[in-house]
Structure 1
Amino acid sequence: MPAQTVSEIGQMGLDKHWSGDLQGQSAVEMLTFMTPVEGSAVYVAIEVVQATLSGRQGGFAFFHAGVSESGGQSLTYRVVPDSGSGELAGLSGELTLEIVDRVHHYTLEYTLAEA
């Protein structure tokens, strides 16, 4: 099998709008790599969020890592340690994703330092 080349690395930027308990905006920078094998790929991303969470305003970052292999998928989607600012300083947590009819639904399990 021929070696993979750098040209097969994809890059994209996304803007997101959050609603629900987490309300605000975020910007995502993502790198992707698709293998020649259908169903096998990987992505990594950093997402910077400015939002209100549980009535507290501030910012933080998420780290994403997703892997698809032989039809199975795994996803890591965590708050970057010590990235919280403003009233979100000390935030830690992990996000889970459920896709229903192509719509992404997120659940954020988090802890936040006492105010």
Structure 2
Amino acid sequence: MTANALATGSFTIDMTSADTDLPGAARFDFTKQWVGDLEGTGRGFMLSAGSPAAGSAGYVAQEVFEGRINGRQGALVFHQFGRMVAGSASQWYEIAPGSGTGELEGIGGTLSIEVVDGQHRVTLSYAIDDGLSAAHGERP
């Protein structure tokens, strides 16, 4: 087991609208380029609802990250959640349990985002386990 560790970095994102037949929802596909301790590419999709222009909305997304985290090569999936209420936004990412591959197998953790001058700065708090805790649904 790896003790709790931190990785920091940033990403750029390219989003495109995608078709959806869900009333009141919008769908986007995206790609990300990650740099820093998290180095690689992310690909995924987002569903959003609400009225961002009016200051209230929410989204969920799934992203496959492929690359390196603090030098460990592999892939994982991020669950993403976001909300905006009265113009105040918050985002939260969690690594999907059991999604790590390669040297990231058994990884679990959360990622926080700070947007400063349009740049997405991230801190990933994680641990890599032998899989026992993930099998029991425990969070790192």
Q: TM-score range by the shorter chain?
A: 0.7 to 0.9
Does the 8 A contact of 2:59 with 2:82 survive in 1? yes
**Aligned residue pair count:** 110
- Find out whether 1:80 has 2:100 as its counterpart: no
- Normalization by structure 2: what TM-score? 0.72
Change (3 A) 1:8 1:21: same
Does the 8 A contact of 2:52 with 2:84 survive in 1? no
The aligned counterpart of 1:43 is: 59
Runs of 5+ consecutive residues of structure 2 not aligned to the other structure: 1-20, 131-140
Offset of residue 67 of structure 1? 1.0
Offset of residue 13 of structure 1? 0.6
Q: One-letter code of the match for 1:110?
A: Y
Percent sequence identity is 38
Greater mean alpha carbon deviation, residues 72-81 or residues 31-40: 31-40
Runs of 5+ consecutive residues of structure 1 not aligned to the other structure: none
SS in 2 for 1:89: coil
After TM superposition, the runs of 4+ consecutive aligned structure 1 residues lying more than 6 A away are none
- Normalization by structure 1: what TM-score? 0.86
What do you get for the CA RMSD once the two structures are aligned?
A: 2.0
Offset of residue 112 of structure 1? 2.0
The aligned counterpart of 2:68 is: 52
Task: Provide, for residues 31-83 of structure 1, a one-character-per-residue CA deviation record: whole Å limited to 9, x for no partner.
Answer: 11123881110100000011111211111000001111123333221111111
Q: Within 1, Cα distance between the matches of 2:82 and 2:102?
A: 29
Q: Within 1, Cα distance between the matches of 2:29 and 2:52?
A: 24
